A = this chain, B = another copy of it.
């Protein structure tokens, strides 16, 4: 609770000197330096970062906006961001927007007013213009999401269309034709993209598009459960399901089991995200992996580059980093046996 003035007085020097031993110790004589350091310890002094930030216009804090902390995807991103933030001596302010536009806006302006030094926004619900409006010129923002959506921001991008395409194509290769899709919430571009990939794969393979095979769910286990209940009422039943997230797939799997439908024998299932749990349900879930941890790392690196380089606002080339989704084949789709069976 002691402040710099008390330390100065006690040490018989000026506050400037005390400040110097904190910030530019090389410019102060060893003798006084030691003296001051001693007094600091004695008085249990530690600088007030608020005041420091006010004077320096720097807070050594960055923020990360995530839509849902309960979705295991985001803690993993957060971990990636934190790893590099901590390495740079920065603090991470984690904000949970709960997929609420208002909350996202609130947090964002709060952060800008709190003068964080930088900010990473994941799967934002806001338009680039909305973000820009809230953004202070001095605070770089990097976006994790779709870049074409966010001109003017550094951006880490994953091609969900391709992801959806990959998942669906895989199912098609395995010989399934009547493939259902449990889509994510419409208001997320990620969901729409996955669905688009799904459609694209069907079309390119000359399979009919059937909208009754598409149901929407939010990103929750329970929601996947319900979706399957709906899908099972269809006749004929789908032969395979592409779920827009592993969480949903896990719920779907649960429903399938409840209904006594064997996976993959009767219905095959692909998830999306490759969350850890995907490998521990039964059957282990085939899924499309998103390099989440790396997304966090990369976004953070981009941010620090921008923060150190300054100049983010000037029409400088914005970086887009494209992290590729990758199919992880496990047991939930049928595999070699199934392939053989189909093609023989």
Contact = CB atoms under 8 A, between A and B. Distances in A.
Nearest to A53: B50
A194 to B, nearest CB: 22
A1 interface: yes
Interface in A55-106: 59, 61, 69-70, 72, 75-76, 78-79, 82, 86, 91-96, 103
Interface in A131-156: 136-138
B281 A50 contact: no
A47 interface: yes
Given A70-B75, A79-B70, A82-B96, A250 B54 contact: no
A342 interface: no
A343 interface: no
- Best-buried of A54, A75, A136 by chain B (most CB within 10 Å): A75
Interface in A89-129: 91-96, 103, 107, 109-110, 112-115
A13 interface: no
A276 interface: yes
A221 interface: yes
B96 A280 contact: no
B72 A79 contact: no
Contact of A72 (B47, B50, B72, B112): B72
B1 A137 contact: yes
A132 to B, nearest CB: 12
Contact of A221 (B47, B50, B93, B280): B280
A48 interface: yes
- Best-buried of A50, A54, A93, A281 by chain B (most CB within 10 Å): A50
Given A110-B91, A221-B280, A1 B75 contact: no
A102 B235 CA distance: 60
Contacts of A282: 257, 281-282
Given A96-B82, A221-B280, A54 B46 contact: no
Interface of A: 1, 46-51, 53-54, 59, 61, 69-70, 72, 75-76, 78-79, 82, 86, 91-96, 103, 107, 109-110, 112-115, 136-138, 221, 250, 253-254, 257, 276-277, 280-282
28 contacts: A1-B136, A1-B137, A46-B109, A46-B112, A48-B54, A48-B113, A49-B113, A49-B115, A54-B54, A61-B114, A69-B78, A69-B79, A69-B82, A70-B75, A70-B76, A72-B72, A82-B96, A86-B103, A91-B93, A91-B107, A91-B114, A92-B95, A92-B96, A93-B93, A94-B94, A253-B280, A257-B282, A281-B282
